[in-house]
Amino acid sequence: MYSGDHFSDPAASQPSTPAPPRPKASKCPCCGHHTLRPTARAHRVCRYRLAVLTLPTRLLVPTCSRCKHSILSFDSVPELAATLESAYRAEVVHRASVEITHLGQFFSQRRIEREIDLSQGYLSRLRAGDGVPSAALVSLLALLSNDPQRLEELKAYWALPLPAEPSPPKRKQDA
């Protein structure tokens, strides 16, 4: 029995403000009931590139109201690709800003820029949310932020020559 009778009769609603049509239900591949509908929900997470991202609540993902099965794919959610790319960029920008702010308690931005070969003012711009850094740079900033003294280690690393590689074993000239 259909229990949606709390919805107003479409014929009785004002013509100027029609209620949005209820999304058509399709068959849930998990439980087999026709209870799969595009559904907004908070706290959906999705791994994208190297990050686990929280998707916007408004993103409509086919979800079963009965068994909670959801189908999060590029086919089932046409705007997923653009949403993930946008969320990823925002995440990278935000994480860079947080790590730069934290590292600023230990070093001047200019010093960090010098030691990891960034142009002057770049960290300041990133901290302000201006520009999208590479995930590799954010990863480096996160490692340094967790253990700031390792900036000295990097300085020493680049100052010293690499240790000589062990020479390959000489091939015996038999014959």
30 near Zn ion (CB under 5 A): yes
CB of 9 to Zn ion, least distance (A): 29
155 near Zn ion (CB under 5 A): no
Binding Zn ion (rule: CB under 5 A), the pick from 69, 125, 150, 155 is 69
> CA 51 to CA 151: how far, in whole Å?
25
Q: How far are the Cα atoms of 11, 35, 46, 87 from residue 30, in angstroms, in the given order?
A: 35, 10, 20, 29
67 near Zn ion (CB under 5 A): yes
Consecutive H or E run containing 125 = helix 122-127
Closest CA relative to residue 118, chosen from 141, 142, 94:
141
Q: Which stretch binds Zn ion (CB under 5 A): 42-50, 58-66, 89-97, 137-145?
A: 58-66
66 near Zn ion (CB under 5 A): yes
Beta bridge partners of 63: 37, 70
92 near Zn ion (CB under 5 A): no
Binding Zn ion (rule: CB under 5 A), the pick from 19, 23, 27, 31 is 31
